[in-house]
Chain A
Amino acid sequence: MMEKLIIGRYLPADSVVHGMDPRAKLLFIFIFVLIIFLANNPVTYTLLGAFTLFAVFLSKVKLRFLVNGLKPVLILILFTFLLHVFFTKEGDMIARIGFLTIYEGGVIKGVFISLRFFLLIFVTSLLTLTTPPISVTDGIESLFGPLRKIKVPVHELALMMSISLRFIPTLLDETDKIMKAQMARGADFSSGSIPDRVKAVIPLLIPLFVSAFKRAEELAVAMEARGYKGSEGRTKYRLLHWSLRDTMAMLLLGALSAALFMLRS
């Protein structure tokens, strides 16, 4: 079950997108997420879609895999789609089912909003799939660096982020292990009434919390033992390089934004 979740997973490969500077990728996504909202007609959506597919193609991530990864959020998208279909009252009326009337504008809006979701998820998954979590946090730390001037503990925040990202797979593994151990003792996580199921989670949650706290404690001790004292005077092992392709990507994005501005209605 958890094996299917692709959010937050890194897929090592050798591609143009993998090789980009994480700062460039982060900026790119930030701007992309903003300009998605510029699109408001078929032409602009096609343009955005084509651009996204092009990025996917460059990243060498299989499209089928990204689509599979959408499954967990599909319900959410379907829900918003239906919400728009039934409750937006614009344009001509198309059909009437009982007390619900469907308008043309609603269907169009529903399709657009769903597309927007798809694009957002595609692009953000592309970031995590092509960038190791540690680079993401390096990128964030570097981008937020200026905030240090106003005493924001940027390094510490980035460290917290990378630690939590780092331990997601560990905790998932741990959950799987404990679940299996309790199932071997006859615990049943997948049937019974709702209160029964809530109760069934206790044997899973308590060991999980205990080990998470233990792990945090051990990590803290290990860091102290190695003389960790935060960002003060700390040099970087992984240096970020802004290269030509990053500039190119930003220029391309600029061109896309300009095109969207011109083509939107």
Chain B
Amino acid sequence: MDIKLREIEYRYAAGTPFERSAIADVTFDIPSGQYVAIIGHTGSGKSTVLQHLNVLLKPLKGEVQIGNRTVSSGRKEKNLKDVRRRVGIVFQFPEHQLFEETVEKDICFGPMNFGVMEEDAKKRARAAIQLVGLPEEVLGKSPFDLSGGQMRRVAIAGVLAMKPDVLVLDEPTAGLDPRGRQDMMDMFAKLQKENGMTCVLVTHSMEDAARYADTIVIMHKGRVFRTGAARDIFSDAGSLTDVGLDVPETVRFQRLFEQRLGRPLGKVCLTPEELAAEVGRLRGEQS
């Protein structure tokens, strides 16, 4: 399911003295099956854009096309359930949304809201808890007895159990330990590659954006600063620092390495693995 944003604008508290512009003239596409990363400085409007993807917010100007449904200002939106089921959003610190007596019930909350029968929802809960790397015993526990990291995983499982077509992740790994981070990010990438799920990742981590995303959207002061393929975006360090961002560590290392070497490598490497291969090739050339 493609999502298209067309010149959308949103202001908070419109019509009061507290009005402030959040985003303006935002246009970009999220093609079906792609992994799109939205990066930008704090307050650049990333989270506001996210909430337009499943009509939690309606644009004041412009329109959002979600599959074959068009959302624009002025029109009253009814029957949002289908959109909300197909676009699953994992908000920042999703562990704050847990409320049920047991983990199982909490994971079933989403699917059952969308009309899935209890038996089926429980099956989904078991599958989802495995996806996020927790043992099945957890299902019977209270979510409030778990550790922070486990709660995070349960909350993510709650969204995965909805089986969305588009998975939207707002800083899903902030505050997790490095190992858990990696597992989680790999799991999302796997879902995207193997199940054809569309992934939208909002992140501050240039490393994650470089490693996983096909397309990168840079937001700056409520507007889209640039969009492009990850490799193109990270080849241009200058414009990134202009908007308060930076290139991934790997790219920075590569730049320093190239300076020492006196000539550039074949391509901009986005992951340590790529860089190692490229450097290896260099050795092959020399000997």
Q: A residues within 8 Å of B by Cβ?
A: 3-4, 6, 9, 11, 62, 65, 68, 174, 177-178, 180-188, 202-203, 206-207, 210-211
Cβ-Cβ contact count across A and B, 8 Å cutoff = 68
- CB atoms of B94 and A186 under 8 A apart: no
**A contact residues around B113 at 8 Å (CB):** 185-188
Cα–Cα, bound, A68→B17 (Å) = 11
- CB atoms of B96 and A3 under 8 A apart: no
Interface check B97, CB cutoff 8 A: yes
Cα–Cα, bound, A254→B128 (Å) = 71
Can you sample 8 A-B contacts with CB below 8 Å? A11-B17, A65-B17, A181-B89, A183-B84, A185-B162, A203-B97, A210-B144, A211-B96
Q: Please provide the 10 A-B residue pairs with the shortest distance between their CB atoms, ordered closest to farther.
A: A186-B113, A206-B99, A185-B110, A181-B97, A3-B13, A184-B89, A203-B99, A186-B114, A181-B91, A180-B56
Interface check B12, CB cutoff 8 A: yes
Cα–Cα, bound, A218→B96 (Å) = 16
Supposing A3-B16, A65-B17, A185-B162 touch, asked if A178 and B144 sit within 8 A by C-beta, the answer is no
Q: How far is the CB of B90 from chain A (nearest CB, A)?
A: 9
Interface string of B46-90 (1 = CB under 8 A from A): 000001001010000000000000000000000001001100110
**B contact residues around A3 at 8 Å (CB):** 12-13, 16, 18
**Which single member of A65, A180, A186 contacts B162 (CB below 8 Å)?**
A186
- CB atoms of B96 and A207 under 8 A apart: yes
Centre residue among B17, B85, B109, B114 by max chain A CB count within 10 A: B17
**A contact residues around B159 at 8 Å (CB):** 184-185
**Which single member of B13, B96, B114, B144 contacts A181 (CB below 8 Å)?**
B96
CB closest chain-B residue, reference A181: B97
- CB atoms of A180 and B96 under 8 A apart: no
List B1-45 residues whose CB lies under 8 Å from chain A.
12-13, 16-18
**A contact residues around B54 at 8 Å (CB):** 184
**A contact residues around B94 at 8 Å (CB):** 181
- CB atoms of A185 and B99 under 8 A apart: no
**Which single member of A177, A186, A187, A188 contacts B96 (CB below 8 Å)?**
A177
**A contact residues around B110 at 8 Å (CB):** 185-186
**A contact residues around B91 at 8 Å (CB):** 177, 180-181, 184
| Chain B, interface residues (CB within 8 Å), range | 20 to 34
- CB atoms of B16 and A68 under 8 A apart: yes
Q: How far is the CB of B88 from chain A (nearest CB, A)?
A: 7
Interface check B270, CB cutoff 8 A: no
CB closest chain-B residue, reference A61: B17
Cα–Cα, bound, A183→B114 (Å) = 11
**B contact residues around A188 at 8 Å (CB):** 81, 113
**Which single member of B17, B18, B88, B109 contacts A203 (CB below 8 Å)?**
B109
Q: B residues within 8 Å of A by Cβ?
A: 12-13, 16-18, 51, 54, 56, 81, 84-85, 88-89, 91, 94, 96-99, 109-110, 113-114, 144, 158-159, 162
- CB atoms of B16 and A207 under 8 A apart: no
Q: How far is the CB of B110 from chain A (nearest CB, A)?
A: 4
Centre residue among A62, A177, A186, A206 by max chain B CB count within 10 A: A186
Cα–Cα, bound, A218→B56 (Å) = 31
- CB atoms of B51 and A202 under 8 A apart: no
Q: How far is the CB of A187 from chain B (nearest CB, A)?
A: 6
- CB atoms of A202 and B99 under 8 A apart: yes
Q: How far is the CB of B51 from chain A (nearest CB, A)?
A: 7
- CB atoms of A207 and B98 under 8 A apart: yes
Q: How far is the CB of B47 from chain A (nearest CB, A)?
A: 10
**A contact residues around B158 at 8 Å (CB):** 185
Cα–Cα, bound, A186→B111 (Å) = 8
**A contact residues around B16 at 8 Å (CB):** 3-4, 6, 65, 68
**B contact residues around A174 at 8 Å (CB):** 96
Q: How far is the CB of B21 from chain A (nearest CB, A)?
A: 14
CB closest chain-B residue, reference A206: B99
Cα–Cα, bound, A86→B271 (Å) = 78
Q: How far is the CB of A52 from chain B (nearest CB, A)?
A: 20
Q: How far is the CB of A126 from chain B (nearest CB, A)?
A: 14
Cα–Cα, bound, A85→B12 (Å) = 40
Q: How far is the CB of A11 from chain B (nearest CB, A)?
A: 6
Q: How far is the CB of A173 from chain B (nearest CB, A)?
A: 11
**A contact residues around B144 at 8 Å (CB):** 210
CB closest chain-A residue, reference B113: A186
**B contact residues around A9 at 8 Å (CB):** 18
Q: How far is the CB of A71 from chain B (nearest CB, A)?
A: 12
CB closest chain-B residue, reference A11: B17
